[in-house]
Amino acid sequence: MAKLLVLTLLGLGLALFRDHRSSYQTRLNAFREVDPVELPNCNLVKGIEAGSEDLEILPNGLAFISSGLKYPGLKSFEPDKPGKILLMDLNEEDPTVLELRIIGSKFDLSSFNPHGISTFTDEDDTVYLLVVNHPDLKSTVELFQFQEEEKSLLHLKTIRHKLLPNMNDIVAVGPEHFYATNDHYFVDPYLKSWEVYLGLAWSYVVYYSPNDVQVVADGFDFANGINISPDGKYVYVAESLAHKIHVYEKHTNWTLTPLKVRRINTISLQNDN
Ligand SMILES: *[C@@H]1O[C@H](CO)[C@@H](O)[C@H](O)[C@H]1NC(C)=O
């Protein structure tokens, strides 16, 4: 009788494990077949061989590109070199990239590890570039002023906060004001991997400003990209491991109300509306 009970429990454990394993693989899209596609109007842009996590295009056609992210579990193509911010002028016939020089005595270039980026342009046309940085795998936001003539970024300030422990992407709504996604809840690498493996969905979105910081949305299975509509009324959050895009209404007090969720079943170049 005892043997039967042990066997039943073992079987049950194994079944639960199998079930969990398969849902984990589904969350990661481990079984997706990737078909080659023809890209007739695309050109390879040279000089971004270390990969890119994010890009941001100004209304005048200048694009900032974040390159060289080192992130646990992801392959790094230039493990011994710091990351960089590239500039590309999309008005050119055959645009090339140029590395922006970073100036500012207090900024440590050797540990620069840029992830999500966003820009904010104020009334007198000063362009600020806000960059999620992971120096030594920590999370900070670096605030830069873009100097177009000099093709450089002047480092103004580093922002850290206990509600910004695992930033992935940001969207700026002021020079020092932004929404940010935290792709994990835990900071400890061991707890982080269990958090993802078990699918706890404890990832969250924060609003940051110098005198008000608050969690504005939570319960995500890996909150990743974040953006805002051109009219500033809606905020969009990509939930990677759930394959969903969330749409929120943004209020004047910066809180967000969920409006709708769009499930992304296939990544397709065709319009699937
Ligand atoms: C923020 O504004 C919304 C919409 O006006 C309101 O429903 C909500 O209660 C406000 N929240 C706080 C914390 O003031």
When the pLDDT of each residue in the chain is averaged and rounded to a whole number, the result is: 92
What's 144-200 look like in SS3?
EEEECCCCEEEEEEEECCCCCCCEEEEEEEECCEEEEEECCCCCCHHHHHHHHHHCC
pLDDT tens digits along 43-95: 889 999 999 999 999 999 999 999 999 998 889 999 999 999 999 999 999 99
CATH architecture type of domain 46-160: 5 Propeller (2.115)
Is the pLDDT at 114 greater than 70? The verdict is yes
- pLDDT for 11: 65
pLDDT at 106 over 60: yes
Pairing mode of beta strands 223-228, 212-220: unpaired
- Per-residue pLDDT, 155: 98
* Contact (CB, 8 A) for 129 and 154: no
**What is the per-residue pLDDT for 271?**
44
pLDDT value of residue 269: 45
pLDDT tens-digit map of 132-172:
999 998 999 999 999 999 999 999 999 999 999 999 999 99
From CA 162, how far away is CA 116, in angstroms rounded?
18
Give the per-residue pLDDT at 1. 61
Largest distance between two CA atoms of the chain = 82
| In the chain, where the domains are located | 46-160, 175-273
132 close to 165: Cβ distance less than 8 angstroms: no
HSE toward the beta carbon, residue 142, CA cutoff 13 A: 29
Residue nearest to atom 14 of ligand 1 (CA): 253
Which residue has the least CA distance to atom 1 on ligand 1?
A: 253
- Which of 251, 256, 259 for mutating ligand 1's site (highest number of atoms within 8 Å of CB)? 251
Pocket (CB within 6 angstroms of ligand 1) = 251, 253, 255
In this prediction, residue 14 has a pLDDT band, given cuts at 50, 70 and 90, of low
| Top mutation candidate among 207, 212, 214, 255 for ligand 1, by most atoms within 8 Å of CB | 255
pLDDT of residue 43: 86
- pLDDT at res. 273: 39
Active site residues: 115
Q: Are 205 and 222 in contact (CB under 8 A)?
A: no
CB-neighbour burial class of residue 190 (10 A; exposed 0-12, middle 13-18, buried 19+): exposed
Q: Is residue 7 pLDDT above 90, yes or no?
A: no
Cβ neighbors of 209 (< 8 A, separation 6 or more) are: 174, 176, 177, 254
C-alpha of residue 4 to centroid of ligand 1, in Å? 57
Smallest CA-to-CA distance from 153 within 257, 263, 66, 60 is with 66
| pTM of model > 0.95 | no
